[in-house]
């Protein structure tokens, strides 16, 4: 782990850092200057000389890195990344609960939980760090970008371990709701157990027949929705995952022949523009229940969103 950054967060984002390699007795100065090392590592991505001239690289002390600084091994250099322009994601992040240890938010669809890929400032973490003034705010579990609903975040580093371990041990009861068509020939409630796998670099996960199940979900039809214009019957389903594999509920509903409405990946991958927010996935993380790992108190949180979900509105 690096030492604490000499640069404060900017827009809820930590500064980036690089560390020069440990000393090699056979070649103690593989680069004449720190500038040469940074150019070797970063020149494909940024204009190193411009960053140095603008004093955008700093050392642990906070002093700017000079262009002629001699190379030193095991030295940290800090800087702010240039952020790409992002289309604002519509919809408010509702704070359902906040105390000294955790913040529980109800996120809209299309908003990433963490900064990654094309979604940096438009993420729950960056938004809420900035809005709540909590620079160490960190999510304790995953929620897909297209999924709406409840997400728990730790307010400080010191609380992360206890709450993350709780999720890893499967001690959190989760309830989701989804909209899908109704099949008259499908017997419900149904418990789905199978082996799911998602290969790195692929969009879709898959069921692997013949392997020991590593996923389990209970699927129940909660209510039927009004039918419009003689269309097919649709319902709101209550989904209770007992494991937490990637895309588990989406794959289990697909396997039952009732894929979730608005899903851009299942049954087929759809080419949807990153700024198209017109058709939200009808999947909502609607309830979380657990015994608090710090004080033992019983916790229950419920989504405040109306369901089924409409297209999110600008906040």
Q: Determine whether 129 is exposed, middle or buried from the number of CB atoms within 10 Å of its CB (0-12, 13-18, 19+).
A: buried
Instruction: Tell me what the mean pLDDT of segment 193-208 comes to.
Output: 95
What average pLDDT does the structure give for the chain?
A: 93
Taking alpha carbons only, the member of 150, 136, 232 closest to residue 184 is: 232
**Chain centroid, CA 16 distance in Å:** 19
Distances in Å between the Cα of 236 and the Cα atoms of 142, 162, 226, 246, 247 are: 23, 34, 11, 22, 19
pLDDT per residue as tens digits for the range 68-101: 999 999 999 999 988 878 889 999 999 999 999 9
Digit-coded pLDDT (tens) for 125-147: 999 999 999 999 999 998 999 99
pLDDT tops 80 at residue 118 = no
What's the N-to-C CA distance of the chain in angstroms? 37
Q: Indicate if the pLDDT at residue 279 is higher than 70.
A: yes
pLDDT category at 315 given cuts 50, 70, 90 is low
């Amino acid at each position: 782990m690096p030492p604490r950054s000499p640069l404060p967060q900017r827009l809820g984002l930590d500064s980036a850092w690089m560390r020069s390699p440990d000393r090699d007795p056979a070649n103690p100065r593989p680069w004449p200057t720190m500038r040469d090392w940074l150019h070797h590592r970063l020149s494909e991505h940024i204009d190193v000389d411009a960053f140095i001239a603008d004093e955008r690289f700093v050392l642990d002390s906070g002093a700017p890195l000079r262009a002629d600084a001699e190379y030193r091994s095991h030295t940290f250099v800090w800087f702010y990344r240039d952020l790409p322009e992002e289309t604002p994601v519509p919809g408010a992040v509702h704070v359902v609960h906040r105390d000294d240890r955790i913040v529980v938010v109800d996120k809209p669809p299309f908003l990433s939980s963490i900064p990654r890929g094309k979604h940096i400032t438009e993420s729950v973490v960056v938004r809420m760090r900035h809005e709540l003034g909590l620079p160490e705010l960190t999510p304790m579990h995953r929620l897909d970008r297209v999924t709406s609903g409840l997400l728990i975040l730790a307010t400080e580093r010191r609380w992360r371990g206890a709450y993350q371990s709780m999720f890893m041990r499967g001690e959190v009861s989760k309830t989701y709701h989804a909209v899908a068509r109704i099949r008259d020939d499908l017997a419900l409630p149904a418990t789905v157990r199978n082996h799911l796998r998602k290969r790195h670099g692929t969009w879709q996960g898959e069921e692997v027949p013949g392997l020991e199940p590593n996923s389990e979900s209970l699927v129940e039809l909660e209510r039927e929705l009004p039918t419009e214009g003689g269309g097919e019957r649709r319902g709101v389903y209550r989904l209770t995952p007992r494991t937490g594999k990637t895309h588990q509920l989406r794959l289990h509903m697909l396997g039952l022949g009732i894929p979730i409405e608005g899903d851009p990946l299942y049954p087929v991958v759809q080419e949807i523009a990153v700024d198209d927010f017109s058709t939200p996935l009808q999947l909502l993380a609607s309830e979380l229940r657990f015994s608090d790992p710090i004080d033992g108190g019983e916790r229950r949180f419920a989504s405040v969103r109306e369901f089924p979900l409409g297209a999110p509105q600008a906040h």
